[in-house]
DNA sequence: TGGATTATTATGTACATACATATTAAATCT
DNA sequence: AGATTTAATATGTATGTACATAATAATCCA
């Protein structure tokens, strides 16, 4: 029976940080000293402190040691589910409607975010996600067919591009930008909300290495909140 | 020289996931088998796969083994810096103005989010954060003086409550809710933006165990975007 | 057959040791 | 003194072994 787990070491470290036994800006003992003091292996202390450093509560550098940051930059974890699961997790019935699908030349801003030549034709998808039959989220997406050729034969009337891409595109990197925009007249119509309503929006771009796959703007119906914990 | 690191094992696992050599929904080999195949210790494989599971790319269960999820719920990491550092990271000059400070009974909704009795007087802070002398973010905060008694003697005209609390409050848990709201007349005035402009807002509540510390709404000037990577 | 019990198994973790690596501090040279 | 080289050191990681734990599969019994 080993009474000391890395979690217990972490809890003790957290206690010392919170009580300022390890003051902000100050150095904390070496792993080896802590291991001896707490009666465990250095690897156990390492696991505990490494984890705290990843969440921003400690700063570690080789040779320099470990210190408590003065202005910790805490890290919160955002869960990015497919929209269907997001709706279903709220206990609501999910619905989906493909509004438009075409292959056309993208506007300059889309070209820029995807770093593509202006003359590359892309697939544009416009779709509406519903929760309990009321508009939940409007998906305005551009897809690079060179990155996912199978998309041209995919039936996007029953499965959303959001879901299809998660399952079929081997993406390696993604950027997110969260913001607020006003509902334009057409957007308001589609989301069944007043024109000028404030919409929470997510602009997402995903890549397979250097190859751009897709850029999407998700406009959520008024009142939507994205949640996170720390 | 040990050629095989846990990062290289992770890269190989990622490759197999992306190429569908390990298909979605399918089981992958045991750690022990992988370790033998790749020529490393099981602990190395464990570290690599555990990390992938934490980011949502694998699902692991004791005895059941490891599988590739059909609908992976990816985890993005959000960095939560103090506002001053957020501004300075953009290469802009940070400014700060305390607009109001009073001790008063909070409205019912604030009581509810903080789970406090309605008759508990709280400290209310209203402050403006500036970037290059233009309004950047409006901070509307309620602080529980029972959780941080030193706040009553803190000078919040030179250091923001945001920063003071990060440095002085030992919080253990926090909830975030991101959304979009319309600028009311008073908010528009303070942020120097048109009334009815869409504002990206963050509602944050922090706790020390079960003791509520503070609830704050941050309203960012129009155009602000919060970014994350995956 | 059905329900409880027991065995099995894959992951999770602890440990001691050894070495790698980044970074700082000391020493050396010009 | 200032620049360069060298030593020292704290963290980072790999390994083999051992055992813990959770979850499943097999078994047993009524």
Tell me the pLDDT tens digit for each residue of B39-59: 999 999 999 999 999 999 999
Q: Is B199 on the interface with A (CB under 8 A)?
A: yes
- Contacts of residue B86, defined as CB under 8 A and 6 or more positions apart, other chains included, come to none
Q: Which of A19, A73, A181 sits opposite B80 (nearest CB)?
A: A73
pLDDT at A170: 86
Q: Which of B163, B225, B229 sits opposite A174 (nearest CB)?
A: B229
pLDDT at B119: 86
The H or E element containing residue A52 is helix A42-54
pLDDT at B219: 98
Q: How far apart are CA B13 and CA B19, in angstroms?
A: 10
CA distance B44 to chain A (A): 13
**Is A229 in Cβ contact with B174 (below 8 Å)?**
yes
Distances (CA, A) of A227 to A47, A86, B164: 28, 11, 24
* Burial classification of residue B177, based on how many CB atoms lie within 10 Å of its CB (0-12 exposed, 13-18 middle, 19 or more buried): middle
The domains of chain B are located at 6-67, 83-220
CATH number for region B6-67: 1.10.10.10
The yes-or-no verdict on residue B1 having pLDDT over 60 is no
pLDDT at A193: 97
User: How far out from the chain centre does Cα A54 lie?
Assistant: 17
The yes-or-no verdict on residue B2 having pLDDT over 60 is no
CB distance B118 to B111 below 8 Å: yes
B57-114 residue pLDDT tens: 999 999 999 999 999 999 999 999 999 999 999 999 999 999 999 999 999 999 999 9
Distances (CA, A) of B137 to A137, A202, A216, B132, B214: 27, 20, 27, 12, 18
**Is B167 in Cβ contact with A24 (below 8 Å)?**
yes
Instruction: Return the nearest residue to C9, CA–C1'.
Output: B63
pLDDT at B117: 87
Token pair of B128, please? Answer: 């403006």
Instruction: Return the nearest residue to D19, CA–C1'.
Output: A1
A119 touches strand D (CB under 7 A): no
Q: Angle at which helices B6-18 and B31-38 pack, to 10 degrees?
A: 110
pLDDT at A2: 57
- Contacts of residue B138, defined as CB under 8 A and 6 or more positions apart, other chains included, come to B126, B127, B128, B129, B187, B190, B191, B218, B219, B220
Q: Is A224 on the interface with B (CB under 8 A)?
A: yes
Neighbours of B37 (CB within 10 A): 11
Mean residue pLDDT of chain B comes to: 95
Task: Give the pLDDT mean for B16-38.
Answer: 96
Taking one residue from A and the other from B, the number of pairs with CB-CB distance under 8 angstroms is 157
Q: Is A74 on the interface with B (CB under 8 A)?
A: yes
Task: Give the pLDDT mean for B217-229.
Answer: 97
Point out the residues of chain A with pLDDT beneath 70. Answer: 1-2
Task: Give the pLDDT mean for B128-142.
Answer: 98
Strands in chain B per DSSP E: 59-61, 65-67, 74-80, 94-104, 122-131, 134-143, 173-182, 198-208, 211-220, 226-229
Distance, Å, A54 CA → D8 C1': 27
Strands in B132-197 per DSSP E: 134-143, 173-182
Torsion angle in degrees (nearest 10) through CA of A216, A220, A225, A228: -20
pLDDT at A118: 81
Q: How confident is the model at residue B155 (pLDDT cuts 50, 70, 90)?
A: very high
pLDDT at B16: 97
3-state SS assignment for residue B105 = coil
Q: How far apart are CA B46 and CA B50, in angstroms?
A: 6
For strand D, give the nucleotides within 7 A of a protein CB.
8-24
Instruction: List CB contacts (< 8 A) between B167 and chain A.
Output: 24, 70-71
Instruction: List CB contacts (< 8 A) between A173 and chain B.
Output: 229-230
User: How far out from the chain centre does Cα B99 lie?
Assistant: 26
Quick one: which of B37, B44, B52, B42 has its CA closest to B5?
B44
CB distance A131 to A92 below 8 Å: yes
CATH architecture of A83-220: 3-Layer(aba) Sandwich (3.40)
Torsion angle in degrees (nearest 10) through CA of A153, A156, A160, A166: 0
């Amino acid at each position: 029976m080993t009474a000391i787990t890395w979690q217990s070491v972490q809890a003790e470290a957290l206690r010392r940080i919170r009580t300022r036994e390890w003051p902000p800006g100050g150095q904390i003992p070496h792993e080896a000293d802590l291991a001896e003091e707490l009666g465990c292996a250095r690897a156990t202390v390492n696991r505990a402190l490494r984890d705290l450093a990843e969440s921003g509560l400690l700063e570690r550098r080789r040779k320099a040691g470990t210190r408590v940051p003065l202005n910790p930059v805490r890290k919160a974890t955002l869960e990015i589910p497919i929209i269907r699961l997001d709706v279903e997790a709220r206990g609501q019935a999910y619905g989906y409607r493909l509004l438009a699908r075409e292959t056309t030349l993208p506007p300059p801003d889309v070209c820029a975010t995807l770093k593509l030549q202006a003359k590359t034709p892309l697939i544009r998808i416009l779709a509406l996600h519903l929760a309990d039959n009321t508009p939940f989220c409007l998906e305005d997406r551009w897809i690079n067919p060179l990155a996912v050729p199978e998309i041209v034969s995919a039936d996007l009337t029953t499965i959303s591009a959001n879901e299809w891409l998660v399952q079929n595109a081997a993406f390696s990197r993604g950027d997110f930008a969260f913001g607020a925009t006003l509902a334009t007249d057409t957007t308001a119509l589609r989301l069944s909300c007043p024109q000028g309503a404030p919409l929470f929006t997510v602009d997402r771009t995903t890549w397979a290495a250097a190859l751009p796959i897709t850029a999407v703007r998700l406009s959520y119906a008024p009142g939507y909140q994205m949640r996170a914990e720390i």
